[in-house]
Structure 1
Amino acid sequence: MTDTLIDRRDLAFQLYEVLDTETLTERERFSEHSRDTFDAVVETADRIARDKFATHNSAADKDEPKFVDGTVKMLPAVKEAFDAYAEAGFIAGRYDYDLGGMQLPESVMAASNGFFTAANPGTAGYPFLTTAAANLIRVFGNERQQQTFLPHMLSGRFTGTMALTEPHAGSSLADIRTSATPTDDGHYLIKGAKIYISGGEQSLTENIVHMVLAKIKGAPPGV
């Protein structure tokens, strides 16, 4: 295993000389940041990725998750890596301070997550999916859903998934058949089948929040 996941000089060139990321600190949202804080975040990502993620990349390929007596058995190192990522604040890195986030620019988060992808894309998928699912709830969820799920997902207590693929459709999301029927109680009844749900079962967290893609009656064709 190489000690270099991403060349730091190349990354600094992209962030500061090509994208001029430091000028984002002139905006109110990022005014409490500086190049020093951006560099500290990148340094932390590099260190955790090397120490916690890269070290079991090969082992995880050889010892995949298994169902044993109704529970999922995983390498302990996967949970150690997930917990380190969450405790460092990366799941909530993009989010508002009020939500426990660091209000980091997308460019800095993308740069940081590049280390985890380079080190171990399999394990990195768990927190990455959680961030994405949490963002759906943040943008489209009602107040109760946000209060119920967001704090725990952003802290790493819960994970999230995207239940998209169906047996007959594969990756053609325009062809899904899963339906969502509204009720008088303000929620939807979901009917359908999903497969290949990344992170759909694991032993990392106490709860898994599934985002299920479905169509309502009369929905237009296409995705």
Structure 2
Amino acid sequence: MNYINKDFLVLSKKQNVHLNNLKELVRRQMPVELYKHSIGTLNYSIKLASIYFLKLLPDKPGNELLRLYYKLCLSCILHDYGKIFKYEELLRIAVEEKIKLSDFELKCKSIIHGFVTPFLIKRDFGINDDEIGQAIKCHTIGSYNMTLIDRLLYISDKVEETRNYEEIDYLRKLSETDLSWCLLEVYKSNIIYVINKNNLLHPDTAKIWNYICGGFKNAI
């Protein structure tokens, strides 16, 4: 499959081969539903990139846009790679590799994969990139001052086509018209989901929520 996104985002033959090889490698290791989700996240991010790359990065030269687009694709297909490992294995790796995690993050089974996956993709696939690592790290709980890649992965992960929940149609439509407002709405939806499950919120959640709200006059 060739990943073509408008005329200005066309991966090279080498990049396409690499991406398709990664797809096959993770397909062999992931449960079917997790692989479908990863592909769905990739495909949805491609759609959003076609809308927002030129709009939000108007001064970036074409080769820089392509570089970021390629990193977005890699981030999306690999963001849940850590989920194929058991929690105990992720915890062991985090401790042995001295991955910087809070006590909460070490104990939280639902988010630890996001913090350990950057190490795993370096170890298993030779991918050692700060921008890719950052996007993967913050796809679970978000972050302050998220880059465009971070935001596209975060949103695509939550609204890709295999997802199905009450407000999904609203969020998908919003994602195509207002990325900043969509990030706020998706983050809010995720907070409500965690609360409804009677699960613990990450200690930084309120701070990140307040940061995302910044600039919206009706959020003050």
Q: Same fold (TM over 0.5)?
A: no
Structure number with the higher strand fraction is 1
* Structure label with greater radius of gyration: 1
Normalising by structure 2, report the TM-score.
0.32
The structure whose residues are more often helix, as a share, is 2
